[in-house]
Chain A
Amino acid sequence: MSDYVIETKQLTKVYGDQTAVNAVNLHVKKGQIYGLLGRNGAGKTTIMKMILGLTSITSGEANVFGKNIKGQEKRVYPRIGAIIETPGFYPNLTGTENLEIFARLRGTAAPNAVKNALEVVGLPYKDKKLFGKYSLGMKQRLGIANAILHDPELLILDEPTNGLDPIGIAEVRNFIKDLSASRGKTILISSHILSEIQLLADDIGIIDHGVLLEESSMSELEKKNRKYILLQVSDVPKAALILERQFQQKNYSVQDDHTLRLYDTSLDMGAVNKELVVQDVTVISSGLCNDTLEDYFKRITGGEGIA
């Protein structure tokens, strides 16, 4: 029996001659929040769809609760709550009516399940407003309410804060954290917003062009992030010349007209500062810094593209 709630092995999806997901090995531990981070179109949704059996797998396998979903739908699906892409509901019905339909189909036994789920996401019960008139934020909330309606063990949330305002994002974030911390839910969440994943996830998977570039715990990732000395000076070319000639430093990068990053943190900064001042370069500031997750993301994906 696997220790993972979700485990994929060499999961691959090919559309025509385009590989959307390439040999992804994902490991989501019980009770943890796993953040799948990647640009738009990186393959996050396709992975989630394959895990849920909504789209066929070209090769490899995806196991949920140690089982392949195919053929086990009736046993596995009741243990999962999910939002994939936009939350789908009937526009001519109210939020409550929509949830009542899904509760009835699921055979949700709890009498107040709909009311409780709406309360959790901050939507009114028995409101007259039709889903078609909902704002994007309200739609997302209703989607989350539907995902938790039957109190599932596993939540698969594809960009759940899409369209929410900053307060809404914070509320949903706190709520997701609470679901994991106090109710022990396992959560797989995808996002292209780095800060969101950074604040939420225990484990992180970084995906780019269908390839899982990195998978580790958030704490390990923070340790891995490079340390560097951030040096702000009046004249970067001159400072660079001094560093190369006087201190034999070549492992540095120029950030802008006044900023340098030195990656050799063993360097005696007292001596560096003194030499720069002597050679008429004003030192505005110098200090030890850590790569942010954003830096790390850019480094391993080789570019921009996340918020």
Chain B
Amino acid sequence: MVTIIVTEIRKWKRNKTVWAILFLTVLLGVFAVERACHISRNSPLMDSFGDLYTLAFKSLTSLFLPIVLGIFSTTLFFDEHKNDTLKALLIIPVSKAQLYFSKVTVVTLLSAGLSLLTFTFCIAGGLIAGGFPDFNVETVMQAGLLFIAGGLLVPIALLPIIFLAALSKGYILPIGATLLCLTPVIIAPSVLMGIHPLASMLGIYAYISDAALEMVETWAYMKITTVSPVSCMLSMLLIGAFSAALSLVALQNQSY
């Protein structure tokens, strides 16, 4: 399995999509540093390190990461069809389950990598801009935990989209579904917590730190008191497992 994952990563050498994703993530990081440098510490928008990392985190995970990972996972599956490499892989043999899980792992690694990159920019912002009274090991660790959680939870939340990517032999359906999936979360995240995987993530983030709680409450326009992180996690895992099972069935039934 490790070999399959390693080769999966090697396939992305010189790939423009990956470079574009990295470039946009760096831009996002630079934006966070710029905000830290240019907004006064007297402003409630940037008077703590919590404000900086939640700003960067929200920018990363609310829209950017789901869209980017939706596109990336779609390309991962569709390009095997487009390049006609799937047949060659299957007769090695690489099983369809191995193929599926290796691609999901690559999506997760990319997500975690982008999260950690943004986290690094947050620390750089904290150091360069200075003046954050709460910039200490504890808040940095809380920020790190939040970014790790985001990096790992977004791919789980996107497993239904990955199912569509595995099912369809085109870009339009999964990418369209990603956008469609995001819309209700943007409009009414509080209603969907515990139901919709992307909204359920918020219910988990809220329990990581005070700054994260504040971020989620502003994001969802609600007080997070009744939402259980366990039920949100269970809901995400159930939907994810169901989507993974469906993906495997869809792949098994495909002819080449």
Contact = CB atoms under 8 A, between A and B. Distances in A.
B38 interface: no
B133 interface: no
A87 B84 CA distance: 7
A80 B93 CA distance: 10
Contacts of A97: 10, 13
A225 B71 CA distance: 59
A97 to B, nearest CB: 7
A52 B91 contact: yes
A90 B88 contact: no
A85 B84 contact: yes
B87 A73 contact: no
Contacts of B7: 101, 104-105
A55 B4 CA distance: 23
B94 A92 contact: no
B88 A146 contact: yes
Given A90-B11, A104-B7, A105-B4, A77 B88 contact: no
A88 B86 contact: yes
Given A54-B87, A104-B6, A93 B11 contact: yes
B42 interface: no
A67 interface: no
B84 A77 contact: no
B93 A54 contact: no
A138 interface: no
Nearest to A92: B14
Most chain A beta carbons < 10 A, residue from B85, B93, B256: B93
Given A49-B256, A97-B10, A104-B6, A86 B90 contact: no
Nearest to A143: B88
A88 B255 contact: no
B89 interface: yes
B225 interface: no
Contacts of B83: 88-91
A23 interface: no
B92 interface: yes
A55 B89 contact: no
B3 A54 contact: no
A84 interface: yes
B15 interface: yes
A74 interface: yes
Contacts of B15: 92
Nearest to B89: A105
Contacts of B91: 52-54, 77, 80, 82
Nearest to B94: A105
Interface in B1-30: 3-4, 6-7, 10-15
Given A80-B91, A93-B11, A105-B7, A88 B256 contact: no
Contacts of B94: 105
Interface in B57-98: 79, 83-95
B3 A55 contact: no
A107 interface: yes
B88 A102 contact: yes
B10 to A, nearest CB: 6
B102 to A, nearest CB: 10
Contacts of B86: 88
Nearest to A156: B91
A87 B13 CA distance: 20
A89 B3 CA distance: 18
A226 interface: no
Contacts of A146: 88
B110 to A, nearest CB: 16
Contacts of B13: 92-93, 97
A101 B10 contact: yes
A85 B256 CA distance: 11
Nearest to B79: A90
A80 B91 CA distance: 8
Contacts of A104: 3, 6-7
A126 to B, nearest CB: 14
Interface in A73-124: 73-74, 77, 80, 82, 84-93, 97, 100-102, 104-107
Interface of A: 49, 52-56, 73-74, 77, 80, 82, 84-93, 97, 100-102, 104-107, 130, 146
Given A73-B93, A77-B91, A105-B89, 8 more contacts: A54-B256, A85-B87, A88-B87, A92-B15, A93-B11, A97-B10, A97-B13, A105-B92
**Which 6 pairs from chain A and chain B are nearest by CB?**
A88-B84, A88-B85, A73-B93, A55-B255, A77-B93, A54-B256
21 contacts: A49-B256, A52-B91, A77-B91, A82-B91, A84-B87, A85-B84, A85-B87, A86-B84, A88-B85, A89-B88, A92-B11, A93-B13, A100-B10, A101-B10, A102-B88, A104-B3, A104-B7, A105-B89, A105-B94, A107-B3, A146-B88
